[in-house]
């Protein structure tokens, strides 16, 4: 069930009413868990057992972890990683046709099950729960199976995050009253999220869909460069839109989730970019991978290796494909070079500081945008074909009004970054949100799946 | 570490709510005012005939069909695949000309709709280069008849308000008509710049060498096209079949020759309706934006050739 479907528009009010009709902790958790299971099963009923295995393994592991049992915690993490590895990365090593042909029926069935939506996200949730409980000082805080289910399955964050740390989520599990609902903030978050997805991302997809092996032949060099920046805006609007809707939905039920984006294209360094883009993932990787690996506490070369490992694995987390690995490694290399040159710190003592920062911001934006090509094209030869066609700068593919349409679609992303929340407390806010709602309803682009759903 | 006292700075910050009621009322009022403004402005600026098409296939196809279904002045309907879709409507000079080229789709989809809608066009030009794609029933089975109702036509314009601003700038009917005709004239007078195959055309030709016909589907489509043609002719519609030109390397491939032979073998075939464009066009001046789709100048040349033919052979309403 997608956030943009009619089914979901009916589902949420029903859950909302059931949730607040009886303000009692266990009832409310049960309503959210049951509705989250329904939410997931509506598209993936055959994959519910996978989710059940993950939850149960995590539950057993956190009971053991909370007793300081390292082996139990490690086993729980291993089971979760095994699930992720089996479903996401098995076809890196085996041929699916071979399993479709015959062999053991159960194994064939398992091998041919589709990738569970959101597996990358809920596996990271589970690992966070186990790791945080392992460090727990007060054993009385240990939550029950129902609470753990809520943490893992909570439908606003189930399929594409934000990845919430257990230590940030569990303290919020308490009785919620309808009078405490932050109605205006929820409304704003939902409108902003749907606007970014339906108007910006879906309309931009109309243009960037031409960045495909079949259609790129029609694009001139200028078109190709323009498409890269449009894709940058699209992928941001798509994921920012999803994350903002998730924040609004969670707040509707009284939960605060982590903010996933803080105007990432304003970053003047690559390290800053990763504190502004997909913050919940980068925070997770930092806390549960980079720091345990040694972080930047060792020699410089060890830090660089750690960066490459973390970013490479972060890339692979997005998909079982070499292009994602390379995308992560490219960012790892950029981070390492930047650190080696001492440019990961803010520019403080430079003349013409503003010009210098603008220049650095532009460099980071262009590099990040071009790196998205590795995200867009699964095969290197397609990406090389795309880049090699940039030798001329002609805008030859479409008529001028189409380009104007493209700019109009991307404009909200540009304005959001440039204005930096200047209208946050302005009196024109109701009109802005009314306009965004109107555009989201009447000018929405053709329906497309959220890009991060496939991870 | 304690789970109870944890404060995470990355969590969403709760903002104070001064007056949610006033905010919501003003926001909804804005929504209503904008919706009403669109309802009034869209038919004026994004006038049906001149509204720019969307880029991707489903929306472009839907838009083209909405325009046609809402129109009253149907004189010429161009039906076909994406090869036809690139023939920009702004270069048509015969009033009431509509392009129903279905990008990524079968010409049968548009023909099925065309035969249901009254009044029928005076002339139907059917491009038969692409028969390998199935009918899109989600499009063909829509209740297109209702789009001729004024109230539905207004809401049909809501389909694409994103382009209201470009439309307001570029598509004032009186302005666009003169601009387009000037450009059309300039394009036709332009000297040929096509010099052999481009790299993209060669790549496309190479790719299409591996193309294999889906004969049952193509035969079925050819038969259906002929049946609809017979019906349209019986209702007084002048029907032309055309094969839009491909680059020489592609022209001789099965991708091009199979559909032609299928249509000519089908029942009810009438040689008179097939127009050999290669005899009407200076083939050595044709060009393509990729291996298959004609460039702007060639598109104008095809439109010009067909419109001359129609004007010579058909009296238009």
Query: CA-CA distance, A262 to A245, in Å (whole number)?
Result: 15
Residues 415-444 of A with CB under 8 A from B: 429-431, 433-435, 437-439, 441-443
Decide: B78 and B98 in contact? Cβ < 8 Å.
Answer: yes
Q: Which residue out of B23, B31, B60 would a mutagenesis test of the A interface target, given it has the greatest number of A Cβ atoms within 10 Å?
A: B31
The minimal CB distance from A408 to the residues B26, B162, B170 is found for B162
Q: Which of A318, A331, A379, A417 is catalytic?
A: A318
How many helices (DSSP H) and strands (DSSP E) are in chain B?
Answer: 14, 5
Place of tokens 């402005």: B41
Name which of A77-81, B1-5, B283-287 the model is least confident about: B1-5
The 3-class SS string of A35-80 reads: HHHHHHHHHHHHHHHHHHHHHHHHHHHHHHHHCCCHHHHHHHHHHH
- Among residues A312, A234, A328, A247, the alpha carbon closest in space to that of A280 is found at A247
Does B162 contact A445 at a Cβ distance shorter than 8 Å? yes
Please tell me the distance from the alpha carbon of residue A100 to that of residue A120, in angstroms, as a whole number: 25
Rounded CA gap, B10 and B186, in Å? Answer: 60
- Write down the pLDDT at residue B314: 56
User: Is some CB atom of chain B closer than 8 A to the CB atom of A182?
Assistant: yes
Residue identified by tokens 């460069």 is A225
Q: How many Cα atoms within 13 Å fall on the side-chain side of residue A351?
A: 0
What is Dmax (Cα atoms) for chain B?
88
The yes-or-no verdict on residue B279 having pLDDT over 50 is: yes
Query: Which chain B residues are Cβ-neighbours of A184 within 8 angstroms?
Result: 15, 17, 20, 23-24
What integer best gives the mean pLDDT of chain B?
A: 76
Phi, psi of B109 (to 5 degrees): -55, -50
Cα distance between residue A440 and residue A419, in whole Å: 21
pLDDT in tens, B37-49: 776 666 555 443 3
Half-sphere exposure of B9 toward its Cβ, with a 13 Å CA cutoff?
Answer: 3
The CA distance from A244 to A412, in Å, is 15
The answer to whether B305 and B280 have CB atoms below 8 angstroms apart is yes
Q: Which site among B1, B12, B19, B197 would you substitute to test the A interface, given the most A Cβ atoms closer than 10 Å to its Cβ? A: B12
Task: Please state, in angstroms and rounded to a whole number, the distance separating the CA atoms of residues A212 and A217.
Answer: 9
> How many angstroms separate the Cα of B121 from the Cα of each of A266, B169, B244?
55, 30, 21
Q: Say if B40 is an interface residue toward chain A (CB within 8 Å).
A: no
Chain B, window 56-85: residues with a beta carbon less than 8 angstroms from a chain A beta carbon: 56, 58-59
Confidence band of B317 (pLDDT split at 50, 70, 90) = very low
B216 Cβ neighbours under 8 A, 6+ residues apart: none
With an 8 Å Cβ cutoff, are B31 and A441 in contact?
yes
Q: To the nearest whole angstrom, how far is the Cα of B103 from the nearest Cα of chain A?
A: 12
CA separation for the pair B202, B247 (Å, rounded): 9
Residue A19 backbone phi and psi in degrees, to 5: -70, -45
Parallel/antiparallel/unpaired status of strands B274-275 and B123-127: unpaired
Smallest Cβ–Cβ distance between B2 and the set A138, A187, A400 belongs to: A138
Contact A217 B290 (CB under 8 A): yes
- Kindly list the strands in the beta sheet with B274-275, ordered across the sheet, starting from the edge strand earlier in the chain: B97-101, B76-80, B123-127, B238-242, B274-275
Q: Is B207 on the interface with A (CB under 8 A)?
A: no
- Indicate whether B2 pLDDT > 50: no
Closest residue to A442, CB basis, from B38, B56, B293: B38
The full DSSP string for A109-144 is HHHTSPPPTTHHHHHHHHHHHHHHHHT-S-GGG---
Of A141, A256, A409, the CB nearest to B12: A256
Q: In which element (H, E) is residue B283 found? A: none
The packing angle between helices A48-66 and A145-153, to 10°, is 130
Q: How far apart are CA B88 and CA B85, in angstroms?
A: 7
Q: What is the pTM of this model?
A: 0.73
Chain A residues in contact with B14 by the CB 8 A cut-off are 182, 185, 256
**What letter does residue B282 receive in the DSSP assignment?**
-
**Residues in a beta bridge with B79:** B100, B126
Which one of B16, B27, B35 would you mutate to disrupt binding with A, by most A Cβ within 10 Å of its Cβ?
B27
Q: Which of A171, A185, A257 comes nearest B14 by C-beta?
A: A185
Q: How far apart are CA B165 and CA B89, in angstroms?
A: 19
Nearest to B54 among A182, A206, A257 (CB): A206
Residue bearing tokens 């000309």: B97
Band the pLDDT of B66: cuts 50, 70, 90.
confident
Residue B103 binned pLDDT confidence (cut-offs 50, 70, 90): confident
Residue A440, CB half-sphere, CA atoms under 13 Å: how many?
A: 20
Place of tokens 């004032």: B172
User: Residue A256 is encoded by which pair of tokens?
Assistant: 């605060």
| B190 to chain A, closest Cα gap in Å | 17
Rounded to 5 degrees, what are φ and ψ at A270? -70, -35
Which residue in the set A136, A434, A446 is minimally distant from B3, CB to CB? A136
pLDDT band at B286 (very low <50, low <70, confident <90, very high): confident
- Residues 247-306 in B contacting A (C-alpha not used; CB under 8 Å): 289-291, 293
- In percent, the amount of chain B with pLDDT more than 90 equals 13
Say yes or no for a CB contact (<8 Å) between B34 and A435: yes
Q: Are B1 and A128 in contact, with CB atoms under 8 Å apart? A: no
Per-residue DSSP letters for B202-248? HHHHHHHTT----HHHHHHHHHHHHHHHHHHHHTT-EEEEE-----H
DSSP-derived secondary structure for A84-95: HHHHHHGGGTS-
User: CB distance A167–B3 less than 8 Å?
Assistant: yes
CA of B10 vs chain A CAs: smallest distance (Å): 5
- B5 confidence band (pLDDT: 50, 70, 90): very low
Output the pLDDT for position B230.
87
Q: Residue B305, CB half-sphere, CA atoms under 13 Å: how many?
A: 22
| Residue A397 C-alpha from the chain's centroid | 32
CA distance A335 to chain B (A): 22
| More confident site: B153 or B177 | B177
The burial of B302, by beta-carbon neighbours within 10 Å (0-12 exposed, 13-18 middle, 19 or more buried), is given as buried
Q: How many angstroms separate the CA atoms of A3 and A245, rounded? A: 8
Q: Which of residues 353 through 412 in chain A touch B, CB cutoff 8 A?
A: 396-402, 404-405, 408-409
Give yes or no for residue B50 having a pLDDT over 50: no
Q: Give the mean pLDDT per block of 10 residues along chain A (455 residues).
A: 87 94 90 92 83 86 79 85 83 68 69 79 86 66 76 87 83 87 90 93 85 78 89 94 94 92 91 91 88 84 89 86 89 91 69 82 94 88 87 69 79 90 79 91 77 70
Taking the Cβ of residue B16 and every Cβ of chain A, the question of whether any pair is shorter than 8 Å is answered with no
pLDDT at B256 over 60: yes
**Contact criterion met (CB < 8 Å) for A401 and B170:** yes
Q: Give the pLDDT of residue A446.
A: 73
What CA–CA distance (Å, rounded) separates B47 from B167?
Answer: 8
Contacts of A10 (CB under 8 A, 6+ apart): none
Q: Tell me whether residue A417 is one of the annotated catalytic residues.
A: no
**B1 chain-A contacts, CB cut-off 8 A:** 132, 135-137, 167
Question: Which chain A residue lies closest to B207 (C-alpha atoms)?
Answer: A214
Nearest chain A Cα distance for residue B108, angstroms: 23
Confidence at B59, pLDDT banded by 50, 70, 90: low
3-state helix vs strand vs coil in chain B, percent to 5 = 55, 10, 35
**What residues of chain B lie within 8 A of the CB of A247, using their CB?**
12
Asked if the bond preceding B119 is cis, omega within 30° of 0, the reply is yes
Q: Quote the minimal CA–CA distance from A453 to chain B in Å.
A: 22
Residue linked to tokens 């995050």: A161
């Amino acid at each position: 069930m997608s956030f943009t479907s009619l089914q979901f528009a009916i589902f949420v009010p029903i859950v909302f009413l059931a949730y607040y009709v009886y303000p009692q902790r266990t009832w409310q958790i049960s309503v959210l868990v049951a509705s989250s299971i329904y939410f997931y099963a509506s598209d993936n009923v055959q994959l519910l057992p996978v989710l059940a295995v993950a939850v149960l393994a995590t539950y057993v592991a956190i009971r053991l972890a909370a007793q300081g049992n390292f082996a139990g915690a490690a086993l729980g993490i291993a089971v979760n990683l095994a699930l992720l590895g089996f479903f996401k990365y098995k076809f890196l090593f085996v041929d699916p046709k071979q399993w479709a042909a015959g062999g053991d029926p159960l194994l064939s069935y398992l091998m041919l099950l589709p990738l569970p939506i959101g597996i990358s996200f809920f596996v990271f949730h589970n690992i966070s729960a186990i790791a945080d409980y392992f460090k727990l000082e007060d054993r009385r805080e240990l939550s029950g199976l129902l609470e753990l289910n809520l943490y893992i399955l909570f439908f606003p964050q189930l399929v594409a995050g934000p990845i919430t740390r257990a230590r940030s989520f569990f303290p919020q599990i308490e009785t919620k009253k309808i009078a405490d609902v932050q109605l205006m903030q929820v409304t704003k978050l939902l409108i902003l999220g749907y606007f970014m997805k339906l108007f910006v991302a879906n309309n931009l997809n109309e243009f960037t869909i031409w960045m495909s092996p079949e259609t790129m032949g029609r694009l001139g060099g200028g078109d190709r460069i323009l498409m890269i920046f449009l894709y940058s805006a699209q992928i941001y609007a798509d994921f920012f839109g999803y994350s903002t809707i998730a924040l609004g939905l969670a707040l509707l039920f009284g939960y605060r989730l982590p903010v996933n984006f803080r105007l990432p294209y304003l970053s003047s360094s690559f390290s800053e970019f990763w504190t502004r883009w997909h913050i919940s993932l980068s925070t997770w990787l930092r806390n549960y991978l980079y720091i345990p690996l040694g972080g930047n506490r060792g020699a410089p070369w060890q830090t660089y290796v750690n960066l490459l490992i973390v970013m490479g694995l972060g890339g692979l987390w997005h998909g079982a494909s070499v292009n994602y690995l390379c995308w992560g490694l490219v960012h790892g290399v950029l981070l390492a070079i930047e650190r080696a040159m001492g440019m990961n710190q803010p520019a403080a003592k430079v003349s013409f500081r503003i010009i210098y920062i603008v220049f650095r911001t532009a460099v980071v934006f262009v590099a990040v945008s071009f790196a998205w090509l590795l995200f867009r094209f699964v095969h290197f030869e397609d990406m090389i074909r795309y880049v090699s066609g940039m030798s001329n700068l002609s805008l030859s593919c479409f008529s001028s009004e189409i380009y104007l349409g493209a700019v109009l679609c991307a404009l909200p992303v540009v304005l959001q970054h440039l204005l930096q929340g200047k209208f946050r407390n302005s009196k024109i806010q109701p009109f802005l949100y009314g306009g965004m709602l109107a555009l989201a309803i009447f000018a929405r682009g053709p329906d497309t799946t959220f890009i991060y759903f496939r991870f | 570490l304690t789970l109870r006292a944890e404060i995470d700075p990355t969590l969403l910050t709760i903002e104070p709510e001064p007056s949610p009621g006033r905010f919501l009322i003003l926001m909804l009022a804005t929504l209503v005012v904008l919706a009403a403004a669109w309802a009034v402005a869209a038919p004026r600026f994004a006038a049906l005939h001149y509204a720019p098409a969307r880029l991707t296939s489903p929306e472009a196809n839907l838009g083209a069909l909405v325009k046609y279904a809402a129109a009253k002045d149907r004189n010429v309907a161009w039906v076909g695949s994406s090869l036809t879709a690139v023939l920009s409507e702004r270069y048509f000079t015969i009033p009431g000309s509509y392009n129903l080229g279905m990008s990524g789709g079968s010409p049968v989809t548009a023909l099925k709709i065309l035969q249901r809608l009254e009044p029928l066009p005076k002339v139907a030009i059917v491009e038969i280069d692409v028969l390998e794609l199935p009918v899109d029933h989600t499009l063909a089975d829509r209740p297109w008849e209702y789009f001729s109702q004024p109230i539905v036509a207004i809401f049909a314009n809501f389909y694409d308000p994103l382009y209201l601003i470009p439309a307001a700038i570029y598509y004032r009917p009186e302005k666009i008509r003169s601009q387009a005709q000037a450009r059309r004239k300039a394009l036709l007078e332009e000297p040929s710049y096509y010099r052999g195959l481009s790299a993209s055309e060669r790549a496309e030709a190479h790719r299409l060498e591996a193309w294999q016909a889906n004969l049952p589907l193509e035969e079925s489509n050819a038969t259906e096209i002929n049946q609809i043609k017979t019906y349209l002719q019986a209702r007084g519609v002048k029907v032309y079949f055309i094969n839009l030109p491909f680059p020489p390397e592609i022209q001789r491939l099965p991708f091009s020759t199979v559909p032609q032979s299928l249509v000519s073998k089908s029942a009810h075939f009438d040689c008179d309706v097939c127009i050999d464009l290669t005899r009407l066009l200076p083939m050595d001046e044709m060009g393509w934006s990729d291996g298959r789709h004609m460039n702007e100048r060639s598109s104008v040349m095809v439109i010009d050739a067909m419109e001359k033919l129609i004007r010579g052979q058909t009296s238009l309403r």
